[in-house]
Structures are given as C-alpha cells and as structure tokens.
Structure 1
C-alpha cells in the first residue's frame, strides 16, 4: 500500500503544472478515491488538496524568484485564472506577494515532497473484529458541528448537554441493534477531513429500518406527561444505512484522547497492514464513561470493504 501511495506522490510531482486527476491517483494507489483521501489526510496531517496547493506554490515560488517568466505566466501555469487569484494564494502560503518576493528576494515557505515509510514502533496490538451487517437506521437528535482532531469538541459538548434526561432515557428505549444504547454517529464529513470542516452529528440509537416509525409507541409512551417529554423526539432525525461490512475497534482510556488516538492509529497502522479500505458511510462510536467522566470504554465502528488486490 505505501509503495503504491508513493507512486501516486510521484504522479503529483509530474503534474504540478497540469491537471491532477485524483481518480487516477487512486488507481495508481490501487484503492478507491474515498479511501485515498482518508488515508492521505491521516498519514500526512493535511488534506490531499491542501498538499497539492502547497506543492504548486512551492514550485511557483522558486520560479517567481528566478525571474525568467512573467508573474501571469507562472500563475496560469499552476492553475490560477488571474494574477490576483495567484497573488492571494501566494501570500497565504508565503506571507508575501509574488511581486514583492521578486523585487526583494524575500524568504519563502517550502512544502517538502512527501514520501511515506513504514516505521515499526513497538509491539502494541489493536483489538478489532469485522462484521457484516444488514441495513439499519440511526434514529436520534441531529446537529451540524465542526470537526475537531484533538481535544474536546465544544459544539458537541454543548449540543449533548442541551438534551434532557427524560429524552435520553426514552430515546435509549428505541435501541434494538448493536451497538446497543446511545451512540454518537458522524456522517457527511468533508472528503478533506480538514480541521473545522462540518459534519452531521447524531446523538441516537441503532434500529431496524422498519422500526424507526412511531417513536412514541416504541418507547411505550401513552400518557400526556410522557408525550410532553417526547416533544424533542417528535423531531427525531433518521439516517438510513445500507448493508455492508464494518470494522469494530475497542479501546479504553482517557476521554477524548484515547478515542482520537484510536481513530488516528486505525488509519496510520491498521489499514496499511490489513486487506481492507474505508468506504462511504457513517462512523459510529459507543462509549461507557467512568463515574467521574474522565475515562471510557469505547467501540468505534467504521464502514469498510475488502481491498481487492
């Protein structure tokens, strides 16, 4: 996998002054475009599109300082439709405009070429299983939140805190499939997975496709007080998930570090070492918190498919 990924990196270098076809890069890496973007983001710490942009502006910066071509010629060569657009992008990366850089010989920022290598760092193992699941439905309360790679996600914390205890209890009664109980579900993530991009966050449960209707009846609510408590549940969001394979990883440790590190390790260690790749679909997390809320036992469910070699 890493050898093919490095071949794709060479392909990028050959086409910095032309069109870079991500689907073609995925074919070179012998994987899907979706998985290539996910793998690259996890391994490189930046989206693939951002890496390409920085490499182009690094090479363009050298040409600006060389002074052989006009700034407009350099701008067009690296995919910018105008000198103004090129100048904005150049300044964003280098901290100085191309004209000033040429006049003064200013120091510029360089994005090095990336090469991926496998490093063996220890003998720790990762607990996982792969299961095939029929179609199911996620039922729960939904919010649009930013993606946070490290540390607490305050938007999610505020959203969950706003859900009353009666609503949580009655929502949990709708759970009927693994993973049982209340789960956190992330869907519709930006392909770049860049920090701050938005995603759909569900605080909900897993049900069979036919059981998501009639939430009040499924929760055993018949009295007026119970129906009032279910006012929020009347606005339940539903996410239909097709049948497929899921890799299930387990971890125990401090919150949220252990879970965020698990996600990182899955993409930097597990995928390169196993014949699976990620496929489009939601990510599901079930956590059981310690009494003081600082530790958790967690299950992370990721949609996968077998990698055809």
Structure 2
C-alpha cells in the first residue's frame, strides 16, 4: 500500500464532502482501511487527526464566507455541520479567536487552515534499523480496555489515554496479578481494532499466558501467527514510541518491501534488554505484491 497516496485520496474525498454529513469512519471506508488504522496513519503522516482536519477546514471556510457576505450565523452553523448557532459560535471562536459577529467587521483577524497536499521529500540519509521475525501464534493474559480511535479534548486536540491506563494498572495491582499467570517476565502493550467500522480499539496490558485459570476481569488475547517487523524505541520516555511510529509510516513502510496488516500490533517491554531500550514495536507485515 502506498500510504502517502492513500492519505491524499482521503483528503480529496474529505474536500469533496466537507459540506455533507461526514465522519472520518466514512473516509476510512473510502480508502479501504479500518477506522482505527486510518486514524493512526493519517495522524502520523499529517500531524492532525482526520476529525480535526474536517473541523478546521470547515471553520476556515466559514471564516472566509462570513467576511465576504451577509450570511446569517444560523445559516453558517447548519451549512458547516453544527447542530446549533451556539455550538458553531463556540467552535468558531476557539478556532479564530473571535466571535462570528466580530468577524463580520472589516479587517477582523482570522485564521486559515488550507487544504493539505501530501508531498514526499528526501532528506538526510538516516538509518532506521529493523528486523523481520516470523513468529508462531501465542497467547497473552491481559487487562483490556476499549479506547476511542480519536479521543479529543474540549479544544478538539488529540489526547492519549493509554499512558493513564498503564499508570492506573500499576497502582491497582494489575502487574502483580499478571505475573501470577505468566510464563516470562516480559510485558506487552497490545492493540487491535474492535472491528473495521468501530470508533473504538482494544488495548491490553499483558504477559505471555501460562495456561492457568484466568482471573476475573482479565482475558486471554490470541495473537495469530504472522511475519513481524520489529523496531527498537530508544529513549527514556514514552515519547520515543510516538517518534518511532512516525518514522515507521514516513520512512520504513514507503520504502520497504512490506505492507502493514490491519491487525494486532504490540509494544514489547523486555525484562532484560539494553539500558537505552524503552521498548520494541512489533507490527504485522506481509510482502508487497
């Protein structure tokens, strides 16, 4: 799969349907990806979420229109997909920094969010190390929760709730419970879409299952046999995970002989490893046709 071309096709589709009732799940369907996989690829390549892109483009267009015509705020609200003038005015002010009524005045300062165009640029020849591993099926015993594929704050900015899940699990004794049912000392952060069109994904904190009785509130996570591309996250903080994911989509996948499969991927936190290794990212891959 050409991820850059896929995202450009997604942007084209969004632009053609900005004035219609559309969500990022509709866009994901258009480019034949699960909502979870599409949201992650789009965000890593463009630095904005699909939902944020749609909102910002609509508010940018609304700002242009309000300064060039006598259109009523209520008409703009419904035109650009808002349920009420109040919700539109709130979003408008958050984006532009002024209310719609003030924007109607001459020389009002407004913000612009232009259409994205994806271009591939060649930069310094950096090396991204990886290894390809063929692994048989295995099972994890895991504490699993569902998270929104696009979780945003009141300002429409993406928020990451996974770190909080890890912290809550540590404080509530999840790690200790998992170790009672594990074959190894390694921890996993495992992730998969709930279904193709779901707005949620499953994320589990787990360990390799030893076959004992699964404790209440936990479950067995089956990881299917496949080929994996494995990347080391080097650093002292979780930020190195996001940096590695960005490089996977911007550097590794476009230039490699592999496509990422829309299935379970995971972070592996080995009990024994180099001091500078935060974790490993394992992504399921297949040879390109």
Verify same fold: TM over 0.5.
Answer: yes
Q: Is the 8 A contact 1:75 1:82 kept in 2?
A: yes
Say how many residue pairs are matched.
272
| Cα deviation, residue 23, structure 1 | 5.9
- Please give the secondary structure, in 2, of the residue aligned with 1:80: coil
1:79 aligns with 2:81: yes
- Please give the secondary structure, in 1, of the residue aligned with 2:119: coil
Residue aligning to 2:221: 240
1:125 aligns with 2:107: no
Residue aligning to 1:285: 268
2-side partners of 1:47 and 1:69: how far apart? 29
Residue aligning to 2:101: 99
| TM-score normalised to structure 2 length | 0.74
Residue aligning to 2:67: 65
1:266 aligns with 2:241: no
1-side partners of 2:95 and 2:287: how far apart? 39
2-side partners of 1:295 and 1:88: how far apart? 45
| TM-score normalised to structure 1 length | 0.70
Larger deviation, residues 298-307 vs 53-62: 298-307
| Cα deviation, residue 5, structure 1 | 2.5
Structure 2: 5+ residue stretches without partners? 152-157
2-side partners of 1:166 and 1:113: how far apart? 49
Q: Is the 8 A contact 1:289 1:296 kept in 2?
A: no
1-side partners of 2:273 and 2:132: how far apart? 24
Structure 1: 5+ residue stretches without partners? 192-197, 216-233
- Mapping for residues 249-260 of structure 1, pairs under 5 Å: 249-251=230-232, 253-256=234-237, 257-260=239-242
Q: Deviations over 1:165-190 (max 9, x none)?
A: 9767544xx22xxxx53213244689
| Cα deviation, residue 60, structure 1 | 0.8
The change in CA–CA distance for 1:290 and 1:128 in structure 2 (over 3 A counts) is closer
Residue aligning to 2:189: 185
- Mapping for residues 74-223 of structure 1, pairs under 5 Å: 74-103=76-105, 105-121=107-123, 122-131=125-134, 133-134=136-137, 136-141=138-143, 153=163, 156-157=166-167, 159-160=169-170, 163=173, 170-171=180-181, 174-175=182-183, 181-187=185-191, 202-207=204-209, 212-214=211-213
Which has the higher Rg, Structure 1 or Structure 2? 1
